[in-house]
Chains A and B, each alone.
Chain A
Amino acid sequence: MPQPEPQAAAGTPHDVKTAVLVSSGRHPVSGRAGRAREDARAVEMGLSLVGADLSLVHAGDPEQASLRECLEGYLGMYHGLDDDRDGQLSLLPLRAGEDALPLLAAWLERSGVRLALTGQRAECGEGSGMVGYLLAERLGWAIATGVAAIERCDAESVTVLQALPQGQRRRLEIRLPCLIAVDAVAEAPRQSAFGPARRGRIETVDDLLPADESRLDTGSADWQWQPARARPKRLKVVKSTNARDRFKAAAAKSSASGGQVLTDLSPEEAAEKLIDYLRAEKILAQDDQ
């Protein structure tokens, strides 16, 4: 969906350091490892904002076989920009059972990032969507979620469009530094190309925090993971003491609701009824005419 016209000219070069927190994704049908859909949209948003100055960060297990494949999906998006620098990604090594939060917070603080973009929820793992909120709470940053587009960005604040239900939009002004979670209705990501993906550099940052055991994630120790079950369809249960009512409810056509039928109307009367109904239901504003 195209976004509404921005208020002012967007995307002028500025010195707000921008980073995207990317996660490993999973294709919804084939299950193949790749870029995550919302994170890819966040990278697209960041590339159109600051171009090749965008830096990427991922906290994950460097031993994992498919990790390079996942991250190359993001690095391959560095094409079609003004300058032909290659993408650069900071990999924060994470052992199994460790919490990514202290690492990410330390990296964001050290690198001087003021605008961090990410998807709303990860596609692998818990997928709770809490990382952005916990980072914002820990760093004292502002956070906005469900962002569809960035309209304007200057040194102090960023103006974004937030996606609401039913295709509506809301304009928010967010003070920097801030964290922005990108919604699935944001602009579609550009394709990942092979050459930029091969040329992109993955730099391992392993001196962020002193190695100790406190980073272990103990909260999720006693969770049981199981394959997702299909959610049961809710049955329409009719609570009635009367067998006849239960039968009628079970056999009734749902369409027969019995609304108001107005006949013998001239077109003007019908139009008046229609407008009155729409105004009563607050579809049309009251104050026009």
Chain B
Amino acid sequence: MSVRRLDPHAERARRNRLHPRHHEFARPAWRWTSADGVTRINPHALGAIGPNGIKRIDRSGAAVEASPAGGASTSAEPARRQIVIDQPVGHVVVVPELPEGRLNDHDRDLFGLARQLADGHDLAVTAVTFLSGVSGFEDAGADRVVDLSAMVTEGYDPEPRLAALVDVEAALSPRHWIFADSLPDGGDLGRRLAARLLPQSASQGANASVGDARPATRVWQLSEGKTLSRAGDRQDILRDVARVLLALPECAEPVSETRHEARVIELATMGGELSSAANEAPASGVIDRGRVAVDPQEIPLAQAPFILSAGRGISDWEGYHHAARVLGASEGASRVAVDDGYMPRSRQVGATGTFVTASCYVAVGISGAVQHLQGIAKCQRVIAINNDPSCDMVKRADLALIADGDAVLAAVCERLGQPRDQTGSDGSWTDEESRHAAA
């Protein structure tokens, strides 16, 4: 064991910044362990001289990230644990909504609820889809996937879907069915299935728990083996977990730490007699006659799927109204445009106007006041057209076009084959609506 020796001359030169040999002994590090084993920090050595000649201390760790040795970029998302359930003793079936062919937040919440029911009981969470080619079931938390897209058609056809679900019931006899309680999609199908299953379970005898058979609607919490469902008249119902659950959004936390295999299974191999619903289609009482063209200006602004919004950057208001008709968009406005009298107050978007939920929001000549950005917080895609590249709307936007709003809208109309001076005022909304395919 060596004795640690200090050089008193070197120590003196290190302490005295005016010593001619100070730079030889000065410690480069701002933190070191002293001879006594105590961590020492030299605040004067900390930080760097910034471009203005002022010392800056960066505690954010940005310098760490910038260095290639940091490896911080890989640790942003912790790796998920892989879960494999080979031989489940039962199934918890989730029927996700899949709007636009993707899992949405409500669907992930449903899978989170299913995992709460399945984990610890060796049950498999099984996703039943009426669409093929949906991705993301692994991370959402599905152990098995049943693809019923061959048995149903596009559009609204509740009877074949119900028949397909009854087949799933016969093949898997799941412990629980979980639907999204949203009308007219998941809530409709779930209630139909519950109404179909209720007489069956009643006839199976009273030894099964009877209260179990009634579906639980508007379920918003699962705790300690009981569900809370919202009833009418400001009441909650606390009851045992029902066979069929129709759950509200945010009913459970989505799966975030585990990854599941999402193995595709065929119903025919799972045993159980199929009612061969595909062969003998039941007489459907409901026939889908397709979507109806809706005037985008008549849709309430809070629900409109596609909004073209104008602000101070617009000077050609006739051209803007024409562009909204050509694009098939609902019209919105910033507060300035409304205060100046160009747009009615009912069209104002923002904290003092309407909070909008559009899936696509085009802001023309709007710089993005805080109140306006709050109003569009729920919009999925934002496009900004603005002259000023530094404004807040450009920072918020998914696509920002730095150009003059009036000119861009005129060019859009021209490119879509309907320049303003040709169509005049006869452009009715129905033929624009036919080209407007927003879901």
Q: Which of B231, B236, B410, B416 contacts A267 (CB 8 A)?
A: B410
User: B437 touching A259 by the CB < 8 A rule?
Assistant: no
Which residues of the other chain, B, contact A221 by a CB distance below 8 angstroms?
A: 211
Query: A121 vs B230: C-alpha distance in the bound complex, in angstroms?
Result: 12
A282 with B291, Cβ < 8 A, contacts A124-B233, A145-B184, A240-B78 known: no
Interface: B294 (CB within 8 A): yes
User: B298 touching A1 by the CB < 8 A rule?
Assistant: yes
Interface: B153 (CB within 8 A): no
Which residues of the other chain, B, contact A225 by a CB distance below 8 angstroms?
A: 231, 235-238
Q: Which of A70-78, A173-181, A196-204 forms contacts with chain B?
A: A173-181
Interface: B281 (CB within 8 A): no
Which residues of the other chain, B, contact A264 by a CB distance below 8 angstroms?
A: 402
User: A173 touching B289 by the CB < 8 A rule?
Assistant: yes
Which residues of the other chain, A, contact B304 by a CB distance below 8 angstroms?
A: 166-167
CB-based nearest B residue for A144: B286
Interface: B14 (CB within 8 A): no
User: B411 touching A4 by the CB < 8 A rule?
Assistant: no
User: A162 touching B156 by the CB < 8 A rule?
Assistant: yes
A265 with B403, Cβ < 8 A, contacts A219-B210, A222-B211 known: yes
Q: Say how far B32's CB is from chain A's closest CB, in angstroms.
A: 23
User: B285 touching A289 by the CB < 8 A rule?
Assistant: no
Q: Say how far A244's CB is from chain B's closest CB, in angstroms.
A: 5
Interface: B306 (CB within 8 A): yes
User: B78 touching A125 by the CB < 8 A rule?
Assistant: no
Query: A122 vs B210: C-alpha distance in the bound complex, in angstroms?
Result: 23
A239 with B250, Cβ < 8 A, contacts A127-B232, A130-B194, A267-B407 known: no
Chain B 338-350: CB-based contact to A (< 8 A → 1; otherwise 0): 0000000000000
Interface: A250 (CB within 8 A): no
Query: A255 vs B414: C-alpha distance in the bound complex, in angstroms?
Result: 33
Q: Say how far A24's CB is from chain B's closest CB, in angstroms.
A: 10
Query: A125 vs B292: C-alpha distance in the bound complex, in angstroms?
Result: 35
A289 with B416, Cβ < 8 A, contacts A124-B233, A222-B239 known: yes
User: B235 touching A228 by the CB < 8 A rule?
Assistant: yes
A: contact size bracket: 35 or more
Query: A188 vs B362: C-alpha distance in the bound complex, in angstroms?
Result: 32
Interface: A142 (CB within 8 A): yes
A137 with B199, Cβ < 8 A, contacts A124-B232, A261-B400 known: yes
Q: Say how far A76's CB is from chain B's closest CB, in angstroms.
A: 22
Which residues of the other chain, B, contact A278 by a CB distance below 8 angstroms?
A: 327, 360
Interface: B412 (CB within 8 A): yes
Interface: B293 (CB within 8 A): yes
User: A125 touching B294 by the CB < 8 A rule?
Assistant: no
Q: Say how far A216's CB is from chain B's closest CB, in angstroms.
A: 12
CB-based nearest B residue for A178: B285
Interface: B195 (CB within 8 A): yes
Interface: A220 (CB within 8 A): yes
Interface: A159 (CB within 8 A): yes
Interface: B392 (CB within 8 A): yes
A261 with B76, Cβ < 8 A, contacts A121-B232, A227-B236, A239-B257 known: no
Which residues of A from 236 to 289 have beta carbons under 8 Å from B? 239-242, 244-245, 248, 254-268, 270-275, 277-278, 281-285, 288-289
User: A128 touching B236 by the CB < 8 A rule?
Assistant: no
A234 with B250, Cβ < 8 A, contacts A130-B217, A285-B437 known: yes
Query: A260 vs B398: C-alpha distance in the bound complex, in angstroms?
Result: 6
Chain B 50-84: CB-based contact to A (< 8 A → 1; otherwise 0): 00000000001100100000001001111000000
A167 with B305, Cβ < 8 A, contacts A219-B214, A260-B399 known: yes
Interface: B265 (CB within 8 A): no
User: A4 touching B293 by the CB < 8 A rule?
Assistant: yes
Interface: A81 (CB within 8 A): no
Chain A 179-197: CB-based contact to B (< 8 A → 1; otherwise 0): 0000100000000000000
Which residues of B from 156 to 183 have beta carbons under 8 Å from A? 156, 182-183
User: B402 touching A262 by the CB < 8 A rule?
Assistant: yes
In the complex, the 10 A-B pairs of residues with the closest C-beta atoms, listed nearest first: A142-B285, A127-B232, A167-B299, A271-B411, A267-B407, A146-B184, A171-B289, A259-B398, A133-B195, A270-B403
Which residues of B line the A interface, CB within 8 A?
60-61, 64, 72, 75-78, 99, 156, 182-184, 187-188, 191-192, 194-196, 198-199, 210-211, 213-215, 217-218, 220-221, 228, 230-240, 250, 253, 256-257, 285-295, 298-300, 303-306, 327-328, 357, 359-360, 362, 373, 377, 381-383, 385, 389, 392, 394-404, 407-412, 414-417, 434-439
A-B contact pairs, 10 of them (CB 8 A): A26-B232, A127-B230, A129-B191, A134-B195, A145-B191, A183-B183, A222-B211, A244-B72, A255-B392, A285-B436
